[in-house]
């Protein structure tokens, strides 16, 4: 028995966390217990500790390769401690970010290369690949403005990066959408919250009718 592994991706502030919560509310109550909602970086005790190190604005001297390896390390722990045990009992896992974040932010944003970053992540996760990824498509400046409004003066180390970095990350996501057209479905995240939710639910119902 294996559950579905579904990931949610997009620029900072695209609405991933908000829409995951909205989708969850639309799942019948008796089926909600079959869903595990988790996030990256994080999703296990060790991975949350690594999250604090990566996102701490004080860690300005962090090397780009160290950053990529820390994201891969937290992911390895997350997969083995949280995601695989849930999938193996038939639960569906909703992960707020996963490997595509590393491919877009470290592979393209940090210029480390999509293929090299993919390789260290394949090692870390033993090649665990999502069954479906929803990409929340939003210009990075719009997402960053939402974050700024939500948490003024509380940006983490990645959010504090220049707009040019976030624009490269966005281009990275566009490349991933082209590379993995069967796995990654694009959602227009510039719509209202109910509209983004409805588009997401429609995609999920089509692919996994058993979820609802
Ligand atoms: N479709 C939307 N329209 C307008 N505001 C939105 C929309 N979706 C989310 N927001 C708002 O944008 C802010 C960021 O949303 P949220 O935290 O869900 O984004 P996120 O993609 O999870 O961000 P991060 O990448 O930082 O984790 C919140 O204040 C949320 O209410
Ligand atoms: C998993 C992952 C994340 N990131 C970046 C993306 C965001 O800027 C932060 C995480 O913050 P969030 O508020 O929880 O979205 O980290 C990354 O660069 N690489 C990754 O693999």
The count of structural domains within the chain is 1
| 150 Cα to the center of ligand 1, angstroms | 8
Average pLDDT over the chain reads 97
The dihedral through the CA atoms of 200, 202, 205, 211 has a sign that is positive
- CATH of residue 163's domain is 3.40.50.300
Question: Model pTM?
Answer: 0.98
The DSSP string of 1-59 is ----EEEEE-STTSSHHHHHHHHHHTS-HHHHTTEEEEESS-SSHHHHHHHHHHH-TT-
Residue 1: pLDDT band by 50, 70, 90 thresholds? low
| 146 Cα to the center of ligand 1, angstroms | 6
**Is the CB of 147 within 6 Å of ligand 1?**
yes
**Is the CB of 21 within 6 Å of ligand 1?**
no
Please enumerate, by residue number, every residue annotated as part of a binding site for ATP.
10-17
Please enumerate, by residue number, every residue annotated as part of a binding site.
10-17
pLDDT tens string 112-161 = 999 999 999 999 999 999 999 999 999 999 999 999 999 998 999 999 99
163: pLDDT strictly greater than 90: yes
Q: What domain range is 75 assigned to?
A: 5-211
Tell the residue nearest (CA) to atom 9 of ligand 2. 158
């Amino acid at each position: 028995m294996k559950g579905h592994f579904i990931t949610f991706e997009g620029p900072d502030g695209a609405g991933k966390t908000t829409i995951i919560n909205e989708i969850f509310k639309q799942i019948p109550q008796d089926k909600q217990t079959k869903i595990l909602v988790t996030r990256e970086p994080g999703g296990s005790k060790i991975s949350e500790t690594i999250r604090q190190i990566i996102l701490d604005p004080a860690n300005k001297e962090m090397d780009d390769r160290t950053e990529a390896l820390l994201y891969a390390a937290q992911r390895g722990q997350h997969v083995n401690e949280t995601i695989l045990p849930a999938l193996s009992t038939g639960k569906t896992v909703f992960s707020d970010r996963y490997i595509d974040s590393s491919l877009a932010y470290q592979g393209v944003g940090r210029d480390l290369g999509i293929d090299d970053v993919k390789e260290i992540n394949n090692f870390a996760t033993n090649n665990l690949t999502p069954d479906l990824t929803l990409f929340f498509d939003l210009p990075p400046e719009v997402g960053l403005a939402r974050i700024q409004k939500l948490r003024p003066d509380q940006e983490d180390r990645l959010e504090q990066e220049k707009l040019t970095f976030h624009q490269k990350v966005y281009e990275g996501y566009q490349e991933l959408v082209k590379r993995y057209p069967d796995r990654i479905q694009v959602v227009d995240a510039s719509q209202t919250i109910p509209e983004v939710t409805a588009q997401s639910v429609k995609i999920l119902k089509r692919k996994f009718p058993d979820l609802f």
